[in-house]
Amino acid sequence: MRAFVAAIVVLAFAGFATTEDKKDEKIDVKKLIGKWERVEPPADKAFKIVLEFADKGKVTMTMTIDKDSEKSDGTYKLDGNKLELMSTDVGKEKKETLTIVKFTDDVLVTKDSRGKEDTFNRIKPKK
């Protein structure tokens, strides 16, 4: 199960990375804090990723496949529009630098080095 989770973490983090067009754009880290759910392609309805950014650079990723869920804790660092995610799985550190290509109060779009974009919608707190 650990190897499966590690593969999912790598795939999820691979959905984020570099473009030069917005390298100087500044993102307010306070607006990033909260829960974000990946907008899934229709074929992946059983696969869900939720990122939760917290104070002091902490991040939790929850991956759900069908009814099975796994959580992975890590850290993040935001520098301009570059989002660096770090996690440790089975003693190995995983690090991914992501580029934020669009960021609003409700939408987070990232792009990886292969050109793949992932869109996340903010999960609103329940009132």
- CATH label of the domain that carries residue 89: 2.40.128.20
Please state, as a whole number, how many other Cβ atoms lie within 10 Å of the Cβ of residue 105.
8
pLDDT of residue 7: 44
Question: What is the domain range of residue 80?
Answer: 2-123
Counting the structural domains of the chain, the total is 1
pLDDT of residue 13: 52
Query: Within the chain, which residues score under 50 in pLDDT?
Result: 1, 3-8, 10-11, 14-22
pLDDT of residue 30: 92
CB 44, CB 60: distance < 8 Å: no
